[in-house]
Chains A and B, each alone.
Chain A
Amino acid sequence: MTQPTNWLMPLAISIDWWALLQVAVVTVVASAAIATLMSLANWFFTPRGEADKPSRPREVAGSIMIGLTALIVLYGLYLLIPYFHH
């Protein structure tokens, strides 16, 4: 006698909800962080009052923000290239 086929077997769904949550949180946090850093950089680079160009401390702060953004992007590049982390 042959074994009856279990038709429900192909529908036994296993979803990695933890990975899904991680992807959602990392995506939102990373893009918000980059946007915030860029906005801060723009704010620092903008001259205040009647000045033609931003003050030295503001320029340094703006450059730091851009540098931090670049670091996040470089980390993304690191993740993208398996050679670096495998």
Chain B
Amino acid sequence: MSPEVIVPIVIIIALVFDFTNGFHDSANAMATSVATGAFKPKVAVALAAVMNLIGAFLSTEVAKTISSGIVDDSLVSPETVFAALVGAIIWNLVTWLFGLPSSSSHAIFGALIGAVLVQAGINGVHFSVIVSKILLPALVAPLVAGLASFIGTKIAYHGEHNAPKGAKRRYRMGQRVSSLLVGLAHGTSDGQKTMGIITLVLVAATLTLQEKDPGAQTWWTQAPDTAPHWWVILLAGFAIALGTYSGGWRIMRTMGKGMADIESPQGFAAETASMSAILASSHLGFGLSTTHVVSGAIMGTGVARTPKDVHWSTAGRMLIAWVLTLPAAALVGGLASWLAHMGVGGFVAVLLVLVLAAVAIKIIASRNHVSAENVNDASEVKVLAKAAISPETHPIPNPFVANLPEKLVDHPMATTPLVLTRLKRPKHTHKKRSSRVGAASNKRYSSRRWRRR
């Protein structure tokens, strides 16, 4: 496939990945702030978007090397990057559907490993770097952040016990500042990742183009070891900011309410621990995933206050997602790479699979919509096999459902069939009827109702 055709397509797919990275990770900075009420949900994502945008413009140092030595860069072709992006996007969307916070960096690295393995075999992948730069940090990040958050929470609660008046307000203020810094750090690292991907493709495509025609120059040509084009920085910055602003409410619900019920001092401790871990790791050259750091910090703060209130089942699901991220993304990336290297037909097939997968995931997600309005209403993200039943979409001629208080009808749990079944025969209705027309009438009414069923 000619570079003139493949380059614009890969740039668009890279920006789509950047967008998914934004909405997948917006929870990292803002989940605890939204859960504790430090920020209103829409204000939180708007601020996170602005911080990500600023972060993306702060530096382009990370952008110079995308693979961080995990694979042999000289083997990476535009098709390989395309396949890796497809694998990472699909994994990001699947984990978003289930509301699981998994690392976008691990998704792209896993997909890149799979794509290079298929293309060049085992010698194209540096397994030692995978252990030192992916697996070990994935183990360390949640433990370190969890420990820091645990200690911070113990200290904060000791202080709050002695000085409850006005403390919450100050902790909320501290939480706001910490979460904004986490957003900024995220933009600095992840915004540049996409710039790096696009730059890598541009350099590879330029070399291919100039092999045929040494003097060839187009709007996208780029020499090796040069900084990203200004338009690449601009597009990547806006894509991640737009993605962040779009919310990622499903993951925000899991992180804010699904792992542990958190209060302001806990939110403050978790955000402070996350901020410290991210800043220390990025400054000392030991990169940690923002997702792993924040998830570990939330678990740490939950354990510090009331260990029995920590939702271990959610933590377990999250852990499974973390373990699966690398191999699953590698599998999709490998398959996509195999297809994409088969020619135009294979490339188009991969593109079609991506579009179909995205549409299918969107449809399934819309059956149990999570938004800024209901992000704090439940602790679990449900994936429904059948369309949700709600009084608005499927009017049921049932007096009990029709007479539900407005608060309950709007509640997301009321849209699940299970909850509707339970709500069909509320106790208070019996009592009310008993008091009005007597026990006998009530008995008749009940038996008639059950026969009708």
Residue ranges of A at the interface with B (Cβ–Cβ < 8 Å)? 5, 10-16, 19-20, 22-24, 26-28, 30-32, 34-36, 38-43, 45-47, 66, 69, 73, 76-77, 79-83
B282 within 8 Å of A (CB atoms) = yes
Q: Which of B155-163, B206-214, B226-234 contacts A (4 or more CB under 8 A)?
A: B155-163
Query: Cβ of A26 and Cβ of B127 under 8 Å apart?
Result: no
Query: Cβ of A39 and Cβ of B156 under 8 Å apart?
Result: yes
B144 within 8 Å of A (CB atoms) = yes
Could you say which residues of chain A place their CB within 8 Å of the CB of B140?
20, 23-24
Query: Cβ of A27 and Cβ of B162 under 8 Å apart?
Result: no
B352 within 8 Å of A (CB atoms) = no
Cβ-closest chain A residue relative to B271: A31
Query: Cβ of A27 and Cβ of B276 under 8 Å apart?
Result: yes
Q: Which of B74-82, B92-100, B177-185 contacts A (4 or more CB under 8 A)?
A: B177-185
With contact pairs A38-B170, A45-B163, A79-B283 given, residues A27 and B148 touching in the complex (Cβ less than 8 Å): yes
- The CA-CA distance from A80 to B145 in the complex, in Å, is 18
Query: Cβ of A35 and Cβ of B163 under 8 Å apart?
Result: no
A12, A26, A27, A69: which has the most chain B beta carbons within 10 Å? A27
Selected from B123, B128, B152, the residue in CB contact (under 8 A) with A13 is B128
In the complex, 14 of the A-B residue pairs with CB atoms within 8 angstroms, ordered by the A residue number, are A12-B128, A23-B277, A23-B281, A27-B145, A27-B281, A38-B268, A43-B162, A45-B165, A76-B276, A79-B282, A80-B185, A80-B188, A81-B58, A83-B59
- The CA-CA distance from A14 to B184 in the complex, in Å, is 30
Q: Mark B117-160, 1 if CB is under 8 A from A, else 0.
A: 00000110111100110001000100011011101110110111
Query: Cβ of A83 and Cβ of B165 under 8 Å apart?
Result: no
- The CA-CA distance from A28 to B279 in the complex, in Å, is 12
- The CA-CA distance from A47 to B283 in the complex, in Å, is 40
Could you say which residues of chain A place their CB within 8 Å of the CB of B147?
24, 28
Selected from A31, A69, A79, the residue in CB contact (under 8 A) with B148 is A31
With contact pairs A23-B144, A23-B288, A76-B275 given, residues A38 and B132 touching in the complex (Cβ less than 8 Å): no
Could you say which residues of chain B place their CB within 8 Å of the CB of A20?
136, 140, 286
Interface positions, chain B 264-286, Cβ under 8 Å from A, are 268-269, 272-273, 275-277, 279-286
- The CA-CA distance from A34 to B148 in the complex, in Å, is 11
- The CA-CA distance from A56 to B35 in the complex, in Å, is 35
Residue ranges of B at the interface with A (Cβ–Cβ < 8 Å)? 58-59, 61, 122-123, 125-128, 131-132, 136, 140, 144-145, 147-149, 151-153, 155-156, 158-160, 162-167, 170-171, 174, 177-178, 181, 184-185, 188, 268-269, 272-273, 275-277, 279-286, 288
- The CA-CA distance from A69 to B170 in the complex, in Å, is 12
Interface residues of chain A: helix, strand, loop or mixed (majority): helix
Cβ-closest chain A residue relative to B153: A35
Query: Cβ of A11 and Cβ of B160 under 8 Å apart?
Result: no
Cβ-closest chain B residue relative to A30: B276
Query: Cβ of A83 and Cβ of B163 under 8 Å apart?
Result: no
Query: Cβ of A46 and Cβ of B58 under 8 Å apart?
Result: no
Query: Cβ of B170 and Cβ of A27 under 8 Å apart?
Result: no
Query: Cβ of B280 and Cβ of A73 under 8 Å apart?
Result: no
Q: How far is the CB of B156 from chain A (nearest CB, A)?
A: 5
Could you say which residues of chain A place their CB within 8 Å of the CB of B162?
42-43, 46
Selected from A5, A10, A12, A32, the residue in CB contact (under 8 A) with B155 is A32
Could you say which residues of chain A place their CB within 8 Å of the CB of B159?
35-36, 38-40, 42-43
- The CA-CA distance from A34 to B58 in the complex, in Å, is 26
Could you say which residues of chain A place their CB within 8 Å of the CB of B61?
82
Could you say which residues of chain B place their CB within 8 Å of the CB of A38?
156, 159, 170-171, 174, 268
Query: Cβ of A22 and Cβ of B170 under 8 Å apart?
Result: no
Selected from A16, A40, A76, the residue in CB contact (under 8 A) with B132 is A16
With contact pairs A13-B128, A24-B144, A39-B160 given, residues A32 and B152 touching in the complex (Cβ less than 8 Å): yes
Selected from B268, B273, B285, the residue in CB contact (under 8 A) with A16 is B285
Query: Cβ of B58 and Cβ of A73 under 8 Å apart?
Result: no
Selected from A15, A22, A30, A42, the residue in CB contact (under 8 A) with B136 is A15
Query: Cβ of B167 and Cβ of A42 under 8 Å apart?
Result: yes
Besides the known contacts A14-B132, A22-B284, A38-B170, 4 further A-B residue pairs in the complex with CB atoms under 8 A apart? A13-B128, A13-B131, A34-B272, A46-B167
Q: How far is the CB of A31 from chain B (nearest CB, A)?
A: 4
Query: Cβ of A32 and Cβ of B188 under 8 Å apart?
Result: no
Could you say which residues of chain A place their CB within 8 Å of the CB of B284?
19, 22-23, 26
- The CA-CA distance from A46 to B163 in the complex, in Å, is 6
Selected from A11, A32, A35, the residue in CB contact (under 8 A) with B127 is A11
Selected from B128, B165, B279, the residue in CB contact (under 8 A) with A80 is B279
Query: Cβ of A10 and Cβ of B268 under 8 Å apart?
Result: no
Q: How far is the CB of B28 from chain A (nearest CB, A)?
A: 15
